[in-house]
Structure formats: structure tokens, C-alpha cells
Amino acid sequence: MLLHTLYLIAIVAEAMSGALMGMRRGMDRFGLCLIGTVTALGGGTVRDVLLGHYPLAWISHPDYVLITIMAAAIAAAGARWLRHLQNLFVSVDALGLIAFTIIGCDIASTLALSPLIVVLAGAITGVCGGMLRDLLCNEMPLVLRQDLYASIALGAAALYLALQHVGVAHGVATLVVLVSGFTVRMLAVRFRWQFKVFTAADTGGAH
């Protein structure tokens, strides 16, 4: 229930952020709706294709597609105002990352897979929408070099599984992971935490 609400909020936020990125890359109205939809629904799609888990969520719930298309269209129409809401976007995106990750873990858990794969499925759900967005915008995915985004998804998924493993109730585990994952993500954004980024120098020479 809580998760489903968060899911809907998250796909709206992701669709809007995808559309705003598309605008900066000179896409037309159709492109914005497509990139918004891919950003919002791409993570779950990649997960389900890799797991062979059919039908995909948006194919059995076409209203998800309508929601993301409308969210992208609204973002395009209101872009001038949305930029003042950047802090709100970052927060909603952080919540969405954790919600996507938990949902991904839940789906993988129903398939009797090894814990490592469940954790990966969760992180893939959280992260791959943004990776597809970046690929379609012809940029190297941000997640490959940025501020702990994917690591937080992995950590949240691992924590979620560990809590359930030691007997914590599903609802409690969800809440704990949502709050702690969200907090760590916001701290990472606020204090610009990041892993060491490697450069050509680290490979011992020019290339």
C-alpha cells in the first residue's frame, strides 16, 4: 500500500526528470514523453526481461504508461516553474530510488532466486531507468561515475534482505530501509560523498 503509493510518486518524479533532461537535449514533444516513460519504467523493464518475469508491469497495467506520459507532458509545459522545485525533485528521486529497489527485491523474492540475485534485481530496478535515459541522451550513464547512487540502491537492497532474514516483519523492514536509504542518499547529495573516481593517471600512463 505504502509502497504502491511511493511507486506512483516515484514514476511521476522520474518521468518528469527524464523529460527535463530531454528538453535540455533538444528533443521534441514526443521525445520528451518517450524519454520520461523510459526513465520511469525502464528499471523494472530491464529487471523483468533479465529475470524472464512476464508480463512486464506496464503491459499488464497500461495506466502506468499513461501516468508517465502525462507527467512528462506536464513537466515540459511547466519547465520554467519546475526548476524552482529542484530540491523537491532530489528528495522525491531519492525516495523513488529506495522504493524501486524494495519493489524489485520483492518481485525477485517471489521467484526463488539466490539472495545475491535478489539484491541485484533490486538495484537494477532502482538504477537502470536512469541508465537508459542517459544512453538515449547519448551520454555516459551518470550512475557509473556519480555520488553513490547505485551503491545506495545495493546497500538498501542488502539491508532489506538481511532484515527479513533475521525475522523482521515485512512492513517494518520496508519502513526501516526507506528511512535509512533516503537519509543516506540525501546526506550523499548534501555532502557530495563519492567514491574515488579513476582517471587515466591511475592506469599508469596516457592512453
Q: Does 120 sit near its own copies (CB under 8 A)?
A: yes
Minimum distance of its own copies from residue 198's CB (angstroms): 4
**By CB under 8 A, what part of segment 96-115 binds its own copies?**
113-114
CB atoms under 10 Å from CB of 170, counted, come to 13
Minimum distance of its own copies from residue 175's CB (angstroms): 26
Q: Is the dihedral of CA 153, 154, 155, 161 positive or negative?
A: positive
Q: Does 54 sit near its own copies (CB under 8 A)?
A: yes
Best CA proximity match to 73, nearest among 29, 12, 41: 29
| CB nearer its own copies, residue 77 or residue 179 | 77
Look at the chain and count its residues: 207
Please give the C-alpha separations between residue 40 and each of 47, 98, 130, in angstroms, as whole numbers: 13, 14, 8
Q: Does 136 sit near its own copies (CB under 8 A)?
A: yes
Q: Please, what is the Cα angle at 80 between 74 and 84, to 5 degrees?
A: 100
| CB nearer its own copies, residue 167 or residue 204 | 204
Q: Which residues contact 154 (CB under 8 A, 6 or more apart)?
A: 119, 120, 122, 123
Q: Does 146 sit near its own copies (CB under 8 A)?
A: yes
Q: Which of 8, 9, 23, 70 binds its own copies (CB under 8 A)?
A: 23
Q: Which residues are at the interface with its own copies (CB under 8 A)?
A: 20, 22-32, 34-35, 45, 49-52, 54-56, 59, 62, 65-66, 76, 79-81, 83, 113-114, 116-117, 120, 131, 135-141, 143-146, 148, 150-151, 154, 194-200, 202-205, 207
